[in-house]
Amino acid sequence: MTDLSKLPPVDPELPNAARMYDYFLGGSHNFAADREAVERIRAVMPFATQVIHANRYFLGRAVRFCVQQGIDQFLDLGSGIPTAGNVHEAARSVEPSARVAYVDNEPVTVASAAALLAGDPLSSITVADLRAPDTVLGAAGVRDLLDLSRPVALLTVSVMQFVHDDAEAADLLAEYRSRLAPGSMHVLSHVTGDHDATELAAAEDQYRATANPGLLRTREQVASLLGDIELVEPGIVDATEWRPDDMAGAQHRGLWAAVGRIR
**In this predicted structure, what is the pLDDT of residue 10?**
84
* Structural domain contains residue 149: yes
**In this predicted structure, what is the pLDDT of residue 80?**
87
Number of structural domains found in the chain = 1
* Structural domain contains residue 28: no
What are the pLDDT digits (tens) for 199-214? 999 999 999 999 999 9
pLDDT, averaged across the chain = 93
Average of per-residue pLDDT across 143-164: 97
Domain of 234, in residue numbers: 47-261
* Structural domain contains residue 26: no
* Structural domain contains residue 97: yes
Q: Based on the number of CB atoms within 10 Å of its own CB, is 35 exposed (0-12), middle (13-18) or buried (19 or more)?
A: middle
In the chain, pLDDT over 90 holds for what percent of residues? 83
* Structural domain contains residue 205: yes
For residues 122 and 142, give the distance between their C-alpha atoms in angstroms, rounded to a whole number. Answer: 11
* Structural domain contains residue 35: no
The answer, yes or no, to whether residue 38 has pLDDT greater than 70, is yes
> How would residue 253 be classed by pLDDT, with cut points 50, 70 and 90?
confident
The widest CA-to-CA distance across the chain, in whole angstroms, is 47
The answer, yes or no, to whether residue 2 has pLDDT greater than 70, is no
Average of per-residue pLDDT across 208-222: 96
For residues 198 and 243, give the distance between their C-alpha atoms in angstroms, rounded to a whole number. Answer: 27
* Structural domain contains residue 218: yes
Average of per-residue pLDDT across 40-55: 94
> How would residue 179 be classed by pLDDT, with cut points 50, 70 and 90?
very high
Q: Any idea what the CATH number is for the domain that residue 172 is in?
A: 3.40.50.150
What are the pLDDT digits (tens) for 71-130? 999 999 999 888 777 999 999 999 999 999 999 998 888 998 999 899 999 999 999 999
Cα dist. 226→106, 132, 242 in Å?
25, 18, 16
* Structural domain contains residue 249: yes
For 139, phi and psi rounded to 5 degrees? -70, 145
The torsion region of residue 78 among left (phi > 0), alpha (psi -120 to 50) and beta comes to: left
The answer, yes or no, to whether residue 248 has pLDDT greater than 60, is no
User: Which among 25, 30, 74 is positioned nearest to 50, based on CA atoms?
Assistant: 25
How many Å is the Cα radius of gyration of the chain?
A: 17
